[in-house]
Amino acid sequence: MWINRIGACRAAPIALKYLILTISIIPTDIVTDLSEIARLAAIREEENDHFRSYIEARDPDETDESVFRLQEVVSAGIDCRQCGNCCRSLMIVVNEEELDRVALLSNETTADFKSKHITEGLAGKMLLNSMPCRFLTDSSCSIYEHRFAGCREFPALHLPGFAHRYFTIQMHYDRCPIIFNVVEQLKKELHFFSADNA
């Protein structure tokens, strides 16, 4: 009766079914404690090597579809600005436009900022020369609205090619709660722990 009054009697069951499906897939076992993530990652190193072979044998588009969905769900439960662990361990590539912008935000000339805070890497790539990042304050980015492209993209689970990039993703599995939880949820979703893979 209520559904009839809002004029959505045919669409509502579909929307309700989607809502129930969405609620049922939200993981309840998300791990956010960084020391626990590091501990579990060390224990699961060999398991993750096997998982790499497992996902490489699967359809990459299907794997990406699962990762995209899981990333959305897991990310909703983790506030990166309260963690900041990537800011303590990532090498950040800086382009010319970003260099100009952060120099201005730092009240320095581009030349001064570059000489103090940038190292030129291979092929002329510019890298921030400090870890943790000089813009990390407590566990939060002091220039969050103006952060670097690499920071905006991380952990890059929204990009296609998860199986192809798995080695690089695993480099951050022990320190990024989003990567750790997406990989662990993906193992469950793909039935990696079935008798065939034990």
Residue 47's closest CA among 169, 156, 170?
A: 170
- pTM confidence score: 0.80
pLDDT of residue 130: 93
pLDDT of residue 19: 44
pLDDT at 107 over 60: yes
Residue appearing with tokens 């030349």? 111
Residue 166's closest CA among 153, 157, 177?
A: 157
Q: Say how far apart CA 182 and CA 156 lie, in whole Å.
A: 12
% of residues, the chain, pLDDT over 70: 83
| Band of pLDDT at residue 18, cut at 50, 70 and 90 | very low
| Band of pLDDT at residue 41, cut at 50, 70 and 90 | very high
**Is 76:192 a contact under the CB 8 Å cutoff?**
no
Angle, CA of 14, 16 and 18, to the nearest 5°: 70
**Is 148:98 a contact under the CB 8 Å cutoff?**
yes
Q: Say how far apart CA 37 and CA 177 lie, in whole Å.
A: 7
Residue appearing with tokens 């400090």? 130
| Band of pLDDT at residue 12, cut at 50, 70 and 90 | very low
Q: Count the neighbouring beta carbons within 10 Å of the beta carbon of residue 20.
A: 10
**Cβ contacts of 106 within 8 Å, gap of 6 or more:** 113
User: What dihedral angle (degrees, nearest 10) is formed by the CA atoms of 147, 136, 75, 45?
Assistant: 120
Q: Say how far apart CA 125 and CA 119 lie, in whole Å.
A: 8
